């Protein structure tokens, strides 16, 4: 059939072609809006969905603002305390530390005791990492400071208010998104849609769990403060004084004699040279 005849045929049946295009367009729109639940997402949500949107949210978008409008602040505290006890009083100080921890329901996370010898005397030092309830933090610090002489004390405070607000808001947002995905899963009729939505539900649940773990960790840091305590036993003023051994005395004597011989052999050539010069001068004067 020539091109001219094809054009005439299309011209005669243009109405039929237009009706077919309208029917196909209606079927396509109905499928997108009525059957495929993924089409109900907004443009931003569709883009996030296509790119694995839930996994892309695994970062923690904390703001730099410190939530100035919040009256009840969330503060975490960490302190470092160095104490010196009197000579021979380390065991007593250690017992007091354990008693304070027990009576205040605190938690001893780490303990390290070291001993070292000076002469015939053994001295001790200890380091402790203690978790205490924030409400008892100040009281426990004051008790620990009374154990011995405070050599150093440092305290750090961090305001976690904004971080707490961010985590709480993120959890609520992701739970709302999870509920929408679960509803869309129930309404989906295609197997492929159910598979995609099932993956998204899994990712969303994992993300919510991650945020909840972070929030629980923050709550634990707020509920418990950390105290890093170190105790050192003071050395006696006479700890380094010991009688010298006979072998050490003999060794010192030999070293002194050796030093004297070295000095003699250094001076001897110069003395001989001075003597020769003196003789020459005497001879010249006599003539």
Q: Do 136 and 266 have their domain in common?
A: no
Q: Do 213 and 266 share a domain, yes or no?
A: no
Same domain membership, residue 52 and residue 137: yes
- 251 and 236 in a common domain: no
Using an 8 Å Cβ cutoff, are 162 and 62 in contact?
Answer: yes
Question: 197 and 260 share a domain?
Answer: no
Are 99 and 125 members of one domain? yes
Q: How far apart are CA 232 and CA 125, in angstroms?
A: 4
Domain hosting residue 138, numbered range: 36-242
Q: Is residue 6 part of a domain?
A: no
Q: What is the rounded CA–CA span in Å between residue 123 and residue 235?
A: 7
Show the CA angle centred on residue 37, arms to residues 32 and 41, nearest 5°: 90
The Cα–Cα gap between 143 and 101 comes to: 10
Res 262 pLDDT > 80: yes
Tokens of 89: 């009083």
Q: Are 148 and 84 in contact (CB under 8 A)?
A: yes
pLDDT of residue 5: 57
Q: Based on the domain organization, do 253 and 237 belong to the same domain?
A: no
Q: Are residues 51 and 168 both part of a single domain?
A: yes
The pLDDT score that the predictor gives to residue 214 is 81
Do 213 and 263 belong together in one domain? no
Whether the pLDDT of residue 9 is over 70: the answer is no
The predicted model scores a pTM of 0.47
Domain count, the chain: 2
State pLDDT tens for residues 156-199. Answer: 877 666 776 777 788 888 888 888 888 888 888 888 888 888 88
Residues 119 and 258 reside in one and the same domain: no
Distance CA 138, CA 149 (A): 18
Query: In this structure, is residue 253 part of a structural domain?
Result: yes
Please determine, for residue 272, whether its predicted confidence score (pLDDT) is greater than 90: no
Q: Is residue 256 part of a domain?
A: yes
**Tens-digit pLDDT profile for residues 119-162:** 677 889 999 999 888 888 889 999 999 999 999 999 887 766 67
What is the spatial distance between Cα 218 and Cα 170, in angstroms, rounded to a whole number?
A: 14
Where is pLDDT greater, at 35 or 230? 230
Mean pLDDT of the chain: 75
């Amino acid at each position: 059939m020539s091109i001219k005849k094809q054009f005439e045929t299309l011209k005669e049946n243009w109405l039929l072609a237009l009706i077919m295009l309208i029917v196909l367009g209606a079927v396509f729109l109905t499928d997108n809006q009525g059957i495929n639940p993924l089409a109900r997402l907004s443009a931003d949500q569709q883009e996030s969905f296509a790119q694995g949107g839930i996994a892309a949210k695994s970062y923690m978008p904390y703001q730099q603002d410190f939530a100035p409008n919040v009256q009840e602040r969330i503060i975490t505290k960490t302190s470092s305390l160095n104490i010196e006890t009197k000579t021979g009083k380390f065991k007593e100080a250690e017992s007091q530390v354990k008693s304070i921890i027990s009576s205040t329901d605190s938690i001893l996370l780490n303990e390290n005791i070291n001993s070292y010898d000076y002469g015939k005397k053994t001295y001790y030092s200890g380091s402790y990492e203690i978790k205490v309830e924030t409400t008892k933090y100040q009281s426990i610090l004051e008790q620990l400071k009374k154990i011995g002489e405070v050599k150093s004390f440092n305290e750090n405070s961090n305001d976690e208010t904004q971080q707490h607000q961010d985590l709480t808001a993120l959890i609520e947002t992701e739970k709302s998104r999870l509920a929408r995905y679960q509803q869309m899963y129930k309404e989906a009729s295609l197997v492929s849609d159910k598979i995609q939505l099932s993956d998204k539900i899994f990712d969303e649940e994992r993300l919510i769990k991650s945020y909840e773990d972070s929030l629980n960790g923050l709550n634990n840091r707020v509920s418990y403060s950390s105290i890093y305590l170190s105790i050192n036993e003071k050395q006696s003023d006479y700890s380094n004084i010991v009688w010298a051994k006979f072998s050490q005395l003999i060794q010192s004597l030999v070293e002194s004699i050796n030093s004297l011989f070295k000095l003699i052999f250094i001076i001897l050539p110069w003395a001989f040279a001075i003597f020769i010069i003196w003789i020459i001068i005497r001879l010249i004067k006599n003539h």
